[in-house]
């Protein structure tokens, strides 16, 4: 009993309320039972004449009125606000009415067994009492207390009446009411426990279903669960949103094909859906494929995945991948097209060419490729800024696209290099002439930020047979043709010829030999002396790199230095020359210095000053005896970087010179901002100064401006006595460098030449010391 009581107390309040509410639920049995009870007792009164039964009928009426009132009051209560204690109070109120009714029945039956020997009275009372007890199971299972008290209230008076009648058989028969009472109680408890377990199970199933529904409704993916007949068993809210299927509750049991073909409401997937999409869905549902990306429209791309179910059917899961597909397309476009000009980039341009060549109508034609290189484009960036340079490239791309419309495909290789493919569809006229005409039209003025910028292109072209387009060869041939154009003159167009390939191969061999020479320390050094104008003092010698090829003999510096710059090994040559010059200078008199040229590539190395300092320490040469020359063009290309590097070098005590002064852009404007000690005026300002008074005036003007900045002057390329005489007369130089005094000499001859100059002086007449 205690265990049962504890169990009752653990029943959830809402379940407890439902059990108690069931007690007040069936009004019809209440009216029926009260009518039968009163009718039975009136019949017994008529049969026996005992007024006691009339009194019991009155009690029935009073109790019935109490119970009826309780039912009506309970109906008006707000069940949701009832506490567990209040629910228990209503249970007790019901039990009181029900137990009182059963007690009156029991008393009437017990009195009939005790007071009368009338079989009808006993049978009538006991039959109604037993029938009512049976009904307790069906009506009062919701309250253990109601079952216990009602069965006890009914059975106890009958047992007492039978025992008091002193009839052995009645007494024995009445004792059988005890197992009847226990059985009735057990039946009621069993019904209640069964219903309770089902209620709890239903509640758990409802919770699970609610959680499942919540999970489905909040999935970021759409879900469709289909049975083996392709009917929808489960569909979530996201699926309805993505496919625009309307209320998902109406889709259960519908055939998927019908839903997608005709829709539920507002659906855009109907009979006009492309057959490819229908085929993809069919393959998914049939298990032929397990994943598919379906393009429903430009604004909707869904990715479906399918999994077969063990019991048959399939689960379709899909998501909106429109943003991802658009991002992939954008990435693909960025990979294929140049972001600045919108032209195809190198790799995609090659794909376009390959695709066009694979077309059947391309066989047997001569096709053309042309590369365009914007001449002096770096100066546009330096003078007008990189933003203007970018806008110029965009303008060039637009112009080339317009000029090539219907003739060629335009692409951008890298930087300021553009490429064109001529499929030569019409095969009318000379394709080479067509390339030349396009090149000539492209060389023009371009409007950028309100300014007109003149642009010329160095260009190379190649004509190929479309039947054998060796894709790996044409870039090499184009580069060879472009190199030929640049070698001839800026702004030229050159068609590739086979002999160019031979020259290219020869140049490649020369590159290999030069690399070997640099690796083997095969670069030698000669020295060009610099004298005082009177020829009595050898002050400095310029170190000049020389390369003697084993087969070809001496290779001109302008050739192998250019090759070294292309190969990126010019810095190694500079370091070898610098180390050799410092070692040789150590063997000369203390008054003689050595000058070494630096290229633009050397200035780009941040560790240049550390390298120079290390070589000075290694060779033991005093920094004051070392002069480093930089060309004006290299300063302009790397102005800010060069200034920082030269400042560090000058802080070591090294003399800084500007070579080829006057040949660059805005030369004099840099002299007051750069750490410069000496300028070497280019030989072009000395040529013809004896014949052309204007050139002499220009030279004197440059010298005057330079001396005003307290900068030393060296004049290069003085070759005749007349030039030397004019320079001396007008005091135009601190030092003279040229054949008028000496040609380049070996390091071992420097000391002897210096002694000769000091003793006898060089006249400058013969050009040979």
641-666: per-residue pLDDT in tens?
778 888 898 999 999 998 878 765 44
More confident residue, 277 or 172: 172
pLDDT at 606: 73
pLDDT at 266: 45
490-546, pLDDT tens digit by residue?
Answer: 788 988 887 777 777 777 888 888 899 888 888 999 999 999 998 889 999 999 999
64-78, pLDDT tens digit by residue?
Answer: 888 888 888 888 888
Average pLDDT, the chain: 80
Q: 43-52, 318-327, 455-464, 662-671: which range is least confident on average?
A: 662-671
Task: Domain 511-759: give its CATH code.
Answer: 3.20.20.450
- 757-761 own/partner pairs: CB under 8 Å, 24+ apart: 757/531, 757/535, 757/536, 757/537, 757/538, 758/536, 758/537, 758/538, 761/534, 761/535, 761/536
pLDDT at 263: 52
Which pLDDT band holds residue 265 (cuts at 50, 70, 90)? very low
- 675-679 own/partner pairs: CB under 8 Å, 24+ apart: 675/643, 675/646, 675/647, 675/650, 676/646, 676/711, 677/650, 677/711, 677/712, 678/627, 678/711, 678/712, 678/713, 678/714, 678/734, 679/706, 679/711, 679/712, 679/713, 679/714
- CATH homologous superfamily of 340-496: Reverse transcriptase/Diguanylate cyclase domain (3.30.70.270)
Structure tokens at 492: 């030229």
pLDDT at 513: 87
94-153, pLDDT tens digit by residue?
Answer: 788 878 888 888 888 788 777 777 677 777 777 777 777 777 766 666 677 777 777 777
Domain segments of the chain: what residues? 2-203, 219-327, 340-496, 511-759
pLDDT at 503: 74
Q: Tell me the mean pLDDT in the region 182-202.
A: 69
Q: Which of 533, 488, 444 lies closest to 761, judged by CA?
A: 533
The H or E element that residue 198 is part of is helix 177-217
pLDDT at 113: 78
CB of 307 closer than 8 Å to CB of 315: yes
DSSP-derived secondary structure letter, 556: P
CB of 456 closer than 8 Å to CB of 491: yes
pLDDT at 669: 63
Q: How far apart are CA 337 and CA 339, in angstroms?
A: 6
Q: Which residue do the tokens 């067994």 mark?
A: 113
Backbone CA torsion sign across 75, 80, 81, 87: positive
657-710, pLDDT tens digit by residue?
Answer: 988 787 654 456 667 777 889 999 888 888 888 888 888 888 888 888 888 888
Q: Tell me the mean pLDDT in the region 709-731.
A: 90
Taken as a whole, the chain contains a residue count of: 769
Backbone CA torsion sign across 657, 659, 662, 663: negative
370-404, pLDDT tens digit by residue?
Answer: 999 998 787 777 677 888 888 889 999 999 999 98
Q: 190-199, 284-293, 516-525, 566-575: which range is least confident on average?
A: 190-199
21-37, pLDDT tens digit by residue?
Answer: 777 776 677 778 788 88
Fold equal for 219-327 and 511-759 = no
Q: How far apart are CA 446 and CA 378, in angstroms?
A: 16
410-435, pLDDT tens digit by residue?
Answer: 999 888 899 999 887 665 458 888 88
Backbone angles phi and psi of 295, in degrees to 5: -95, 95
CB of 668 closer than 8 Å to CB of 703: no
pLDDT at 3: 47
Architecture of 219-327 per CATH?
2-Layer Sandwich (3.30)
pLDDT at 576: 93
Structure tokens at 340: 């600045």
């Amino acid at each position: 009993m205690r265990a049962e009581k504890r169990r009752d107390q653990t029943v959830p309040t809402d379940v407890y309320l439902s059990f108690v509410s069931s007690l007040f639920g069936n009004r019809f049995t209440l009216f029926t039972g009260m009518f039968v009870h009163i009718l039975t007792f009136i019949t017994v009164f008529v049969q026996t004449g005992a007024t006691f039964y009339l009194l019991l009928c009155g009690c029935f009426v009073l109790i019935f009125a109490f119970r009826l009132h309780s039912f009506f009051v309970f109906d008006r209560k707000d069940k949701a606000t009832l506490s567990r204690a209040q629910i228990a109070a209503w249970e007790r109120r019901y039990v009181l009415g029900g137990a009182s009714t059963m007690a009156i029945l029991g008393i009437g039956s017990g009195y009939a067994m005790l007071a009368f020997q009338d079989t009808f009275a006993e049978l009538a009372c006991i039959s109604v009492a037993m029938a009512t007890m049976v009904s307790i199971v069906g009506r009062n299972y919701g309250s253990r207390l109601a079952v216990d008290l009602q069965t006890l209230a009914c059975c106890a008076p009958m047992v007492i009446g039978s025992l008091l009648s002193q009839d052995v058989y009645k007494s024995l028969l009445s004792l059988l009411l005890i197992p009847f009472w226990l059985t009735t109680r057990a039946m009621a408890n069993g019904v209640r426990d069964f219903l309770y377990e089902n209620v709890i199970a239903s509640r758990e199933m409802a919770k699970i279903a609610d959680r499942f529904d919540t999970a489905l409704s909040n999935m970021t993916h759409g879900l469709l669960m289909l049975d083996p007949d392709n009917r929808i068993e489960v569909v979530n809210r996201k699926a309805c949103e993505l496919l625009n299927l309307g209320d998902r509750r109406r889709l259960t049991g519908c055939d998927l094909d019908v839903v997608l073909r005709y829709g539920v409401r507002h659906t855009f997937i109907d009979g006009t859906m492309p057959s490819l999409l229908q085929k993809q869905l069919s393959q998914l549902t049939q298990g032929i494929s397990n994943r598919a990306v379906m393009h429903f429209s430009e604004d909707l791309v869904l990715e479906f995945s399918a999994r077969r179910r063990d019991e048959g059917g399939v689960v379709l899961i899909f998501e909106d991948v429109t943003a991802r597909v658009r991002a992939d397309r954008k990435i693909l476009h960025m990979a294929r097209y140049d972001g600045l000009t919108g032209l195809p980039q190198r790799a995609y341009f090659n794909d376009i060419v390959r695709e066009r060549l694979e077309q059947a109508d391309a066989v047997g034609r001569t096709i053309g490729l042309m590369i365009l290189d914007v001449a002096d484009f770096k100066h546009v960036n330096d003078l007008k800024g990189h933003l203007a340079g970018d806008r110029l490239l965009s303008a060039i791309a637009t112009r080339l696209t317009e000029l090539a419309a219907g003739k060629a495909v335009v692409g951008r290789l890298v930087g300021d290099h553009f490429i064109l493919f001529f499929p030569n569809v019409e095969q009318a006229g000379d394709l080479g002439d067509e390339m030349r005409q396009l090149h000539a039209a492209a060389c023009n003025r371009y409007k950028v930020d309100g300014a007109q910028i003149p642009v010329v292109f160095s260009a190379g072209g190649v004509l190929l047979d479309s039947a054998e387009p060796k894709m790996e060869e044409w870039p090499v041939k184009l580069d060879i043709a472009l190199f030929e154009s640049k070698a001839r003159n800026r702004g030229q167009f050159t068609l590739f010829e086979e002999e160019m390939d031979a020259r290219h191969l020869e140049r490649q061999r020369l590159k290999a030999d030069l690399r070997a020479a640099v690796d083997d320390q095969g670069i030698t050094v000669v020295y060009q002396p610099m004298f005082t104008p009177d020829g009595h003092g050898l002050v400095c010698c310029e170190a000049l790199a020389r390369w003697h090829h084993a087969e070809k003999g001496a290779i001109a510096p302008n050739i192998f230095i250019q090759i070294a710059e292309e190969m990126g090994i010019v810095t190694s040559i500079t370091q070898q020359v610098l180390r050799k010059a410092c070692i040789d200078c150590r063997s000369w008199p203390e008054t003689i210095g050595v000058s070494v040229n630096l290229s633009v590539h050397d200035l780009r190395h941040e560790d240049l000053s550390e390298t120079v300092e290390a070589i000075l320490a290694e060779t033991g040469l005093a920094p004051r005896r070392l002069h480093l020359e930089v060309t004006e063009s290299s300063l302009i290309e790397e102005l800010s970087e060069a200034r920082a590097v030269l400042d560090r070098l000058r802080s070591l005590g090294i003399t800084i010179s500007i070579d080829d002064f006057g040949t660059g852009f805005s030369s004099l404007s840099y002299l007051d901002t750069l750490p410069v000690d000496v300028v070497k005026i280019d030989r072009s300002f000395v040529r013809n100064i004896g014949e052309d008074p204007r050139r002499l005036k220009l030279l004197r003007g440059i010298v005057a401006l330079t001396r005003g900045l307290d900068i030393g002057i060296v004049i290069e390329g003085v070759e005749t006595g007349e030039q030397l005489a004019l320079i001396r007369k007008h005091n135009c130089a601190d030092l003279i460098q040229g054949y008028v005094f000496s040609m380049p000499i070996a390091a071992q001859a420097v000391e002897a030449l210096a002694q000769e100059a000091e003793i006898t002086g060089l006249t400058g007449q013969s050009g040979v010391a």
